[in-house]
Amino acid sequence: MNRVLILLLGFLSFSASAENCSFKSHHELAQEIYDEIGQSALKCVPNSVHLTFDDGPSQTVTPEILKELKLRKIQASFFVTTTNLDPSHAKYQENRALVQQAMNEGHMIADHGFEHNAYDLRLDASGKLLEKGFSQKEREDQIQKSVDYLNWSTGGKFSKQIPLMFRFPYGRGAMPSEKELKHMMDEGEIHLSGKTYAEQLKEYRQISPPLQTIAGHGFSHLGWNHDSHDSSFGIKSPEKTILKDYIIKNIKALCSNPKITKVALFHDIKEMNITAIPIIADIGQCLGLKFVNAQTMMADQQLNKTGVMVSKQDIIQGQIENVIKGLAEVESSPKVECSKPVVDKSCWSEQYQKSYPHCSGGDSVCFEGKWYARTDPVVKDNCQLKD
Ligand SMILES: [Zn+2]
């Protein structure tokens, strides 16, 4: 059999398997988690999901996340902490290149501020002051610096994105807790007439200095309605059982509560996501989740109505209605059957910008998702290649 025929046969078998549930992740946990979820008879509602990554870029995690997203044609949003782009950062040039790469690959580049600080005050659960938050001038300076660095990294394309999105570190600025609102009122920083927290929060958002500042710089605000809780872990990936539990919990949560696009919060500084994101994407897609880009996400009006997304116009006009309306819970969800997965053994070629089937290639041969030299025993023993 000549090589062309082998390539053709390989391509046909790849195309046929693509109709079934297909794993692109080769991690041992992928099948294990899939089997476990299958046994749990998970009821997954086919939600739309938009993946968002905060605090990066990181030289260890972001390139891997970009690679996995590209392989699956998923476009996400990256909320950049722009201290990573400052010349005082050891890897600022590499970090800028990553921001540029993410934008070129169709992801939305968004702003997470310069220093990872609260844009209003920040209290812990007991009411102790953790961070005072920025003054008006500091807020302005921080945002201007952020915008400048993002434009510098993208050749001015950052500010041309429509709409421009900002996310406050810790979600602070748009969603103060009851204790934080009370503290601001006690300190005389803000005056609210509402009696209940819900009333006060609604009022606060209409005049919130952090929200007004970002809107003045052309930003809308995007929060999240799915927290991966990866911030509870360190930078290094945890042991296998913990990682597995993290992945399963995320898949189950993304599968629940439909009727609104899931805006999922992850961090591209956490190494666990190098393994978790491909598995969540593969199994999620198998269960019916649709990973949508920023534009598709923004078309979901529910995100505005529930305050997950607050548009620049609404901030400026103080017309933020229903922002604290609870999300509709769905009591019963139809079960989504998942066919037996077929492991995708193809390999992506950076050089040729296309996917090669198992046991095909040239000087390098694709074997079970990895490239080997044509002369490698793994290839010689397992692939029937003719020279
Ligand atoms: Zn953050």
Over residues 319-346, the pLDDT tens digits come to: 555 444 433 333 333 444 455 555 667 7
Q: Where in the chain is the domain with CATH 3.20.20.370?
A: 25-317
Average pLDDT, the chain: 85
Q: What is the 55 CA–ligand 1 centroid distance (Å)?
A: 5
Query: What integer pLDDT is reported at residue 72 of this predicted model?
Result: 96
Provide, rounded to the nearest whole percent, the portion of the chain with pLDDT above 70. Answer: 87
Q: What does the pLDDT look like over 206-232, one tens digit per residue?
A: 888 999 999 999 999 999 999 999 999
Q: What is the 266 CA–ligand 1 centroid distance (Å)?
A: 9
Which residue did the predictor score with more confidence, 302 or 51?
Answer: 51
Query: What integer pLDDT is reported at residue 381 of this predicted model?
Result: 84
Q: What is the 384 CA–ligand 1 centroid distance (Å)?
A: 50
Q: What is the 167 CA–ligand 1 centroid distance (Å)?
A: 8
Q: What is the 169 CA–ligand 1 centroid distance (Å)?
A: 4
Q: What is the 84 CA–ligand 1 centroid distance (Å)?
A: 12
Query: What integer pLDDT is reported at residue 342 of this predicted model?
Result: 56
Q: What is the 310 CA–ligand 1 centroid distance (Å)?
A: 18
* Residues around the ion ligand 1 (C-beta < 5 A): 54-55, 169
Provide, rounded to the nearest whole percent, the portion of the chain with pLDDT above 90. Answer: 54
Q: What is the 295 CA–ligand 1 centroid distance (Å)?
A: 22
Q: What is the 46 CA–ligand 1 centroid distance (Å)?
A: 28
Read off the pLDDT of each residue in 152-157 and give the average, rounded to a whole number: 97
Read off the pLDDT of each residue in 86-98 and give the average, rounded to a whole number: 97
Place of tokens 């649709």: 290
Kindly report the pTM of this predicted structure. 0.80
Query: What integer pLDDT is reported at residue 387 of this predicted model?
Result: 63
Q: What is the 62 CA–ligand 1 centroid distance (Å)?
A: 15
Q: Can you list the positions of beta strands (E) in 171-313?
A: 219-222, 226-227, 262-267, 290-291, 309-310
Read off the pLDDT of each residue in 188-215 and give the average, rounded to a whole number: 90
Q: What is the 314 CA–ligand 1 centroid distance (Å)?
A: 24
Q: What is the 268 CA–ligand 1 centroid distance (Å)?
A: 10
For residue 258, is pLDDT > 80?
no
Query: What integer pLDDT is reported at residue 284 of this predicted model?
Result: 94
Q: What does the pLDDT look like over 366-376, one tens digit per residue?
A: 888 788 888 88
For residue 19, is pLDDT > 60?
no
Strongest mean pLDDT among 28-42, 193-207, 267-281: 267-281
Q: What is the 284 CA–ligand 1 centroid distance (Å)?
A: 25
Read off the pLDDT of each residue in 51-78 and give the average, rounded to a whole number: 98
Q: What is the 115 CA–ligand 1 centroid distance (Å)?
A: 10
Q: What is the 31 CA–ligand 1 centroid distance (Å)?
A: 31
Q: What is the 81 CA–ligand 1 centroid distance (Å)?
A: 7
Whether the Cβ atoms of residue 166 and residue 214 lie closer than 8 Å to each other: yes
Q: What is the 170 CA–ligand 1 centroid distance (Å)?
A: 6
Query: What integer pLDDT is reported at residue 92 of this predicted model?
Result: 97
Read off the pLDDT of each residue in 7-32 and give the average, rounded to a whole number: 57
Q: What is the 269 CA–ligand 1 centroid distance (Å)?
A: 10
Q: Which of 34-48, 258-272, 282-296 has the lowest mean pLDDT?
A: 34-48
For residue 275, is pLDDT > 90?
yes
Q: Which fold has domain 25-317?
A: TIM Barrel (3.20.20)
Q: What is the 57 CA–ligand 1 centroid distance (Å)?
A: 12
Query: What integer pLDDT is reported at residue 118 of this predicted model?
Result: 87
Q: What is the 121 CA–ligand 1 centroid distance (Å)?
A: 15
Measured distance CA(245)–CA(321) in Å, rounded: 37
Q: What is the 315 CA–ligand 1 centroid distance (Å)?
A: 22
Query: What integer pLDDT is reported at residue 323 of this predicted model?
Result: 44
Q: What is the 112 CA–ligand 1 centroid distance (Å)?
A: 7
Whether the Cβ atoms of residue 174 and residue 310 lie closer than 8 Å to each other: yes
Angle, helices 136-153/92-104, rounded to nearest 10 degrees? 70
Query: What integer pLDDT is reported at residue 21 of this predicted model?
Result: 64
Torsion of CA 65, 57, 209, 137, to 10 degrees: -170
For residue 5, is pLDDT > 80?
no
Using alpha carbons, select from 325, 327, 309, 336 the residue that is nearest to residue 255: 336
Query: What integer pLDDT is reported at residue 15 of this predicted model?
Result: 26
Q: What is the 95 CA–ligand 1 centroid distance (Å)?
A: 16
Q: Which of 4-8, 134-138, 165-169 has the lowest mean pLDDT?
A: 4-8
Query: What integer pLDDT is reported at residue 141 of this predicted model?
Result: 94
CA-based radius of gyration for the chain: 23
